[in-house]
Amino acid sequence: MTSASCKKYPKILLSIIASLGCLAIFLILSSSSLISSQTFGSAIRGYIYVVGRSQEADLIGTASDGTVVNFSHHSNILGSKGAGDDFQESDGGFGCDLYKGKWVYDSGGEPLYKHDSCPVLTQTQNCQGNGRPDKEYENWRWKPTQCGLPRFDARKFLDLMKGKTIAFIGDSVARNQMESLLCILWQVEVPNNRGNKRMQRFVFASTSTTIIRIWSAWLVNKTSDQFDFAPAGVPELHIDAPDETIINLITNFDIIVLSSGHWFAKQSVYILQNEIVGGQLWWPDKSKKMKIDNIKAFGISVETILTAMVTHPNYTGLTVVRTFSPDHYEGGKWNTGGSCTGKVRPLKDGQLFDNEFTKIMHQKQVRGFSRSIDKNTNKSKMKLMDITEAFAYRHDGHPGPYRSTDPNKITKRGPDGRPPPQDCLHWCMPGPVDTWNEILFEIIKREL
């Protein structure tokens, strides 16, 4: 983002700009935006991401179509009880790792819905509607090595989900996936909007299937009063206490998809056992080292929310943790020439950007997941939906500069080579994010 584009969002960014000269990230819809459907489409818009310089990819693969991926090193990353085990028992004992595979171009493929056939699609992710000139990114399909990933059958999904409720809980990437699912289902049935102030809620009458979204950026208890030496106004995250709003609702849900991570790049104070242990874009006493940085805080938060869920006496649902969604501010940071402008096909093998931040966030998340599995005392199930590496290849799947219908928006680099303001974090709809719901459907088929 340029400083000019920051000026467009003075309210949102003001405090951060003040201290950081616009070095801030603001990713997501504010929580209020889930209240009314009018605000679908109002959105945001600055993102900061630190993307490492291109390095040798640490994935191995063949190059016939340039997109073969070797994920075999995953077992190391995932540790003992990670997603590596998730699908071993399925497929009649053959096992199929849904996260190991490649992106294949499907020239005759049609997306699951059209950008103009889904009234709930947020405008900032409506890439075609915002004038994105290329369209091929809609036609790459994820092909797991050992099995096929069936095209999403909306009718079958509703039948399988008869009487059931699925809740997407988390940040704006949760919204991205929830809207993708709604758009897919919309093609066979228009749901009733039964939302309220706490949550978005759509009910498909034919099967009484309910799709819910609840905003919770960090998934843990957030306060904002003055606390010890933390000033009022800076979000205080009690990273060892879950967001009570979530915990109070979970027994109503059969399936919960959790999405978090990117807000740990935002300003906040980290509190553990009632003691301030660190902060992000906030730490007044430079002479003292903080105990917990944003990456550690993320890992702890994941363990906190999951532990609260799997030790809840009455929760029997399936919890799906969708792993950290990779962003693609390639070649720099968001404000130093990092860009996904002009990316029209997935990265080829060997071109993968080694994004240290993504990698370590993923590791912490997987560790938090594994540790909470060990604490499970109820009948609920947990699955890791480990999409991080597969989606690291999809630098073509983001809106880039096509974030609004504004006919005067800048979509090309300036004379100084600076890229235009852009979103290389959220995913176009239709687009690769629809694959998440195809994978989710497979998980549900296997677990319900």
Which candidate in 172, 325, 370, 372 is catalytic?
A: 172
Residue 311 near ligand NAG by CB under 6 A: yes
> Residue 280: in which H helix or E strand, if any?
strand 275-280
Whole-number Å distance between alpha carbons of 345 and 185: 27
- State which of residues 138, 236, 243, 442 lies at the interface with ligand NAG (CB under 6 A): 243
Instruction: State in angstroms the smallest separation of the CB of 310 from ligand NAG.
Output: 8
Residues 148-177 that bind ligand NAG (CB under 6 A): none
Gyration radius (Cα) of the chain, Å: 21
224 near ligand NAG, rule: CB under 6 A: no
Among 207, 154, 208, 205, smallest CA distance to 182 is for 154
Judge whether 172 counts as a catalytic residue: yes
CA angle 64, 68, 70 (to 5 degrees): 135
Is the distance from CB of 246 to CB of 214 less than 8 angstroms? yes
| End-to-end CA separation in angstroms for the chain | 44
Q: Which of 346, 349, 345 minimizes the C-alpha distance to 69?
A: 349
Candidate residues 8, 379, 412, 445; the one interacting with ligand NAG per rule CB under 6 A: 379
- Helix runs in 10-50, H state only: 10-20
Residue 149, burial from CB neighbour count under 10 angstroms (0-12, 13-18, 19+): middle
Instruction: Considering the complex, state which of residue 225 and residue 285 has its C-beta at the smaller distance from ligand NAG.
Output: 225
Rounded Cα distance between 132 and 130, Å, is 6
Is residue 60 close enough to count as binding ligand NAG by CB under 6 A?
yes
- Report yes or no: 180 and 432 within 8 Å, Cβ to Cβ: no
**Nearest residue (CB) to ligand NAG, 8 versus 375:** 375
> Which residue in 15, 378, 410, 411 binds ligand NAG (CB under 6 A)?
378
Q: Which is nearer to ligand NAG, 40 or 298 (CB)?
A: 298
CB 266 within 8 A of CB 26: yes
Pick the stretch among 89-97, 262-270, 309-317, 327-335 that binds ligand NAG (CB under 6 A): 309-317
Among 15, 245, 341, 363, binds ligand NAG (CB under 6 A): 245
Query: How many other β-carbons are positioned within 10 Å of the β-carbon of residue 162?
Result: 11
DSSP letter (8 states) at residue 245: H
The one catalytic residue in 86, 327, 423, 434 is 423
Which one, 92 or 313, has the nearer CB to ligand NAG? 313
User: In the annotation, is 423 catalytic?
Assistant: yes
Choose one: 189-197, 327-335, 360-368, 375-383; the region binding ligand NAG (CB under 6 A): 375-383
Q: Which of 33, 122, 130, 221 binds ligand NAG (CB under 6 A)?
A: 221
Alpha helices (runs of H) in 318-355, residue ranges in sequence order = none
Verify binding: residue 377, ligand NAG, rule CB under 6 A. Answer: yes
Q: What mask, x for binding ligand NAG by CB under 6 A, covers residues 61 to 90?
A: ---------x-xx-----------------
Residue ranges in contact with ligand NAG by CB under 6 A: 60, 70, 72-73, 221, 223, 241, 243-245, 311, 313-314, 377-379
Catalytic site positions: 172, 423, 426
